[in-house]
């Protein structure tokens, strides 16, 4: 049980993502996904994390979604990084807002831990480490953006 950071790649993966009902950050439309989009996936636990888009400034925040038990947890996130003395970049995801549907609210501790796990897996050729920092209290909402 581990998250893997990867490109969506195949048409089958794109179709699977679309079937989950991922919504765009700025409309009520399904997110437009390309084979180059990345996600963190733990297929054994059916948990998925995807950076949906936006921007890292205050006018247009960045949105990241976590899929858990058929529900979407939408987060407003920001990113920062530092370089160590050897020149390696270390990424920090700042979770500024987290909306958890009431139907999975009792699992919020499990959800938050899994989100931290998934963000830690977002390493690539640019970043040697990645972590998440929760800068808010999770918020219970009636349902996710798909009405679940």
Strand-strand pairing, 71-83 and 47-54? unpaired
**CB of 41 closer than 8 Å to CB of 22:** no
Instruction: Please give the pLDDT value at position 35.
Output: 61
Q: How many domains does the chain have?
A: 1
Q: Which domain holds residue 74?
A: 4-141
| In the chain, % of residues over pLDDT 70 | 89
pLDDT at site 139? 97
Residue 56 counted as domain residue: yes
Q: pLDDT tens digits, residue range 63-119?
A: 899 999 999 999 999 888 899 998 889 999 999 999 999 999 999 999 999 999 999
Residue 148 included in any domain: no
Flag whether 17 is in a domain: yes
Residue 147 domain flag:
no
Burial label, 122 (beta-carbon count in 10 A; 0-12, 13-18, 19+):
buried
The answer to whether position 80 is within a domain reads yes
With respect to residue 60, please indicate whether it lies within any of the assigned structural domains.
yes
Residues sharing a CB contact under 8 Å with residue 68, sequence separation 6 or more, in sequence order:
47, 104, 107, 111, 114
Mean pLDDT over the full length of the chain: 87
Say what the pLDDT of residue 137 is: 97
Whether residue 117 lies inside any domain: the answer is: yes
Pairing of strands 89-101, 129-134: parallel
Burial 35-64 (b: 16+ CB within 10 A, else e): eebebbbbeeeebbbbbbebeeeeeebbbb
Between CA 72 and CA 68 the distance in angstroms is 6
What does the pLDDT read at residue 68?
Answer: 96
Q: Which of 133, 55, 69 is nearest to 105 (CA)?
A: 69
104 in any annotated domain: yes
């Amino acid at each position: 049980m581990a998250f893997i950071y990867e490109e969506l790649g195949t048409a089958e993966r794109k179709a699977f993502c679309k079937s989950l009902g991922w919504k765009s950050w700025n409309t009520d439309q399904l997110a437009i996904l390309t084979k180059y989009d990345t996600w963190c996936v733990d297929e054994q636990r059916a948990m998925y994390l995807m950076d949906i888009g936006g921007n890292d400034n205050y006018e247009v925040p960045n949105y990241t979604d976590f899929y858990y038990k058929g529900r979407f947890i939408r987060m407003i996130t920001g990113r920062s990084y530092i370089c160590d003395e050897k020149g390696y970049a270390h990424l920090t995801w700042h979770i500024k807002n987290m909306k958890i549907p009431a139907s999975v609210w009792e699992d919020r501790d499990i959800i938050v831990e899994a989100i931290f796990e998934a963000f830690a897996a977002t390493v690539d050729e640019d970043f040697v480490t990645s972590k998440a920092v929760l800068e808010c209290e999770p918020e219970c909402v009636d349902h996710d953006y798909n009405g679940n």
